[in-house]
Amino acid sequence: AMANLPEMRSFVAFRQGEYTPCHLRNEPKLKNLLNLEKKNTEYGDCKLVWETALGDDGDDNPRILCPWVSLRGTLQDWMDLGWTKLEKLWLDGNFIAGSIPESMPRAWPQLTSLDLYRNELTGTVPASLAELHFDKLQLQGNHLSGTLPPALFKRSCCYFNVAANANLSGCVPSGTFKDKAWAKGIPGTKISRCKPGQEHQEL
């Protein structure tokens, strides 16, 4: 049924498997929740939502994501739906797996907002993503690797995040991010700030 929606422009279905276990609602310390991500707990393959993992829930209610009530699948599955006019796709926290297809700009040439954080994505970040004019691109909290394409830093994107991808490397041109915490690089990655001269080589 979803394949028969050629006029689809916006699809938002983030964190479909999110909930707060009742006995954890008043858990005072985040560090006691980290065991939820271990495979030998009652929650199996569940994991903390991005905000809970960062300790930034605000309301002190820890939240988890579970795969059996999430969308899952791959990005290619979504691209095969034929939504050629798509502008916004938010699928964060849905256990989406596989790689980011290099052909994404051809499938979704009008895409400007892409939320894929806290999924199970692997492989590299394709340089072709720089062909799209993003207002938002969130890829943090996955398992991406390789070198982050320098061309992505040429785009003026209002919100761009690739943190917490442990095997993602590269260098960030000075002045790219306003957040002082990122002055030396991107947290949770191998991406550092460009050294003098390296910035021009990368770009």
66-112: per-residue pLDDT in tens? 888 889 999 999 999 999 999 999 999 999 999 999 999 999 999 99
Quick one: pLDDT at residue 180? 64
Q: Which of 37-41, 60-64, 82-86 has the lowest mean pLDDT?
A: 37-41
**pLDDT, mean of residues 185-190:** 91
Q: What is the pTM of this model?
A: 0.85
On the question of pLDDT at 27 being above 80, the answer is: no
147-184: per-residue pLDDT in tens? 999 888 776 667 889 999 999 999 888 767 665 666 67
Task: Give the residue, 51 or 140, on which the prediction is more confident.
Answer: 140
The amino acid occupying position 162 is V
